[in-house]
Amino acid sequence: MAVNFLPPIANASQFPQPSVSATPDFHLKDVVLFNRSPYHLENAVFTRNGRGAIGIAGKALKKTADNIILIPAYHCPALVEPFIWLGYQIHFYPVMENLQVDKAMLNSMLDELNPTHVVVVRYFGFNQNVDEMIAMLRGRPVEIIEDCAHSLFRFLHHFDPKMASDIEVSASICSINKILPTVDGGALYLPNKPAGTLQQTSWADELKAFAYLLGIPQALDKFRSRSKAVNSDQTANIGTTKDASPSIKPSIEQEDKALRYFQPVDVESASYRHTHYILGKSQIETIREKRRKNFEYLISKIDNPVVGHPLYTSLDQFDVPYVLPFLLNDDKHFFTLRKNGIQILRWEETAVSECKNSMHYRSHLIQIPCHHQLTKEQMDFVIDTINSIQS
Ligand X SMILES: Cc1ncc(COP(=O)(O)O)c(C=O)c1O
Binding site for ligand X (CB under 6 A): 49-51, 76, 78-79, 121, 147, 149, 175, 186
The closest residue (CB) to ligand X is 50
Integer Cα distance of 391 and 261 in angstroms: 36
Amino acid at the residue 83: F
In Å, what is the CA distance from 365 to each residue of 186, 235, 263, 346, 358?
A: 25, 37, 27, 6, 9
Shortest distance, position 232 Cβ to ligand X, whole Å = 38
Q: CA angle, corner 22, sides to 167 and 181, nearest 5?
A: 65
Q: Which is nearer to ligand X, 76 or 188 (CB)?
A: 76
Q: Which is nearer to ligand X, 182 or 378 (CB)?
A: 182
Nearest in space to 97 (alpha carbons), one of 131, 64, 74: 74
What is the distance of C-alpha 202 from the center of its chain? 26
In Å, what is the CA distance from 24 to each residue of 78, 248, 287?
A: 21, 21, 11
Q: Which is nearer to ligand X, 49 or 353 (CB)?
A: 49
Beta bridge partners of 270: 47
Shortest distance, position 380 Cβ to ligand X, whole Å = 28
Q: Which is nearer to ligand X, 114 or 247 (CB)?
A: 247
Shortest distance, position 123 Cβ to ligand X, whole Å = 7
Q: Which is nearer to ligand X, 173 or 307 (CB)?
A: 173
Residues in CB range of 135: below 8 A, 6 or more apart: none
Q: Which is nearer to ligand X, 82 or 115 (CB)?
A: 82
In Å, what is the CA distance from 152 to each residue of 20, 122, 157, 189, 263?
A: 22, 10, 9, 12, 23
Shortest distance, position 384 Cβ to ligand X, whole Å = 28
Shortest distance, position 76 Cβ to ligand X, whole Å = 5
Shortest distance, position 158 Cβ to ligand X, whole Å = 16
